Chains A and B, each alone.
Chain A
Amino acid sequence: DTAVSQTPKYLVTQMGNDKSIKCEQNLGHDTMYWYKQDSKKFLKIMFSYNNKELIINETVPNRFSPKSPDKAHLNLHINSLELGDSAVYFCASSQDARGQETQYFGPGTRLLVL
């Protein structure tokens, strides 16, 4: 069974479109995250939710809106996609928000904006 799953795995779309990426974890964790990995492999946190409450919100354009309907799901909606949004987006989860907890990553969603 996949611990952290994301859909879709690949997403190719036109500039200006709106798209969503879904994430689900079956580990019973309280905390979930979204990361963006650029073409140079640099990885940066975007958002984090703990028990469905937003606890980390980095400097991300407000075109990006996370939504957590329950503890097991954290979705990412992106409005008015731009070329610079092309990247790999990773979802992750951890038992709780304490810093020493291991984060478990999903396989990534490769987004290409044309």
Chain B
Amino acid sequence: GDSVTQMEGPVTLSEEAFLTINCTYTATGYPSLFWYVQYPGEGLQLLLKATKADDKGSNKGFEATYRKETTSFHLEKGSVQVSDSAVYFCALSDSSYKLIFGSGTRLLVRP
């Protein structure tokens, strides 16, 4: 079945460092791809999404490009802030319209 694999955490960075969180997927058909973020003690919020190959989603300085050839949707940010500390989830919506999540990657940004 469809699945999402993302890099193990935690990822610890200093403020203003460059961030990459890797995400790859396995799916039949053409899924939509998402990054959701969960701040401590809160529910998930959509960070960005892409619905077709080569689309780039972006929001709050974060970006991810839907790469069909490598089945990837890596999350990047040029300069992280302490306030970006959270758990980041990569997800895809499969042919039955379910959201399938990766295992989450915890990001800790130190001042």
Contact present for A107 and B93 (CB under 8 Å) = no
The answer, yes or no, to whether B98 is at the interface (CB within 8 Å) is: yes
- Main SS of the interface on chain B? strand
Q: Roughly how many angstroms separate A63 CA and B19 CA in the complex, as a whole number?
A: 42
The answer, yes or no, to whether A43 is at the interface (CB within 8 Å) is: yes
The answer, yes or no, to whether A95 is at the interface (CB within 8 Å) is: no
Contact present for A43 and B104 (CB under 8 Å) = yes
The answer, yes or no, to whether A90 is at the interface (CB within 8 Å) is: yes
Contact present for A43 and B97 (CB under 8 Å) = no
Contact present for B97 and A107 (CB under 8 Å) = no
The answer, yes or no, to whether A108 is at the interface (CB within 8 Å) is: yes
The answer, yes or no, to whether B53 is at the interface (CB within 8 Å) is: no
Residues of chain A within 8 A of B34, CB atoms compared: 102
CB within 8 Å of A: which residues of B? Answer: 31-32, 34, 36, 38, 42-46, 49, 51, 87, 89, 93-101, 103-104, 106
Closest 7 interchain pairs by CB? A99-B93, A105-B43, A100-B32, A105-B44, A41-B104, A100-B51, A43-B101
Mind listing 14 A-B residue pairs with CB under 8 Å? A41-B87, A41-B106, A42-B101, A45-B98, A45-B99, A45-B100, A55-B97, A92-B44, A99-B31, A99-B95, A100-B93, A102-B34, A105-B44, A108-B42
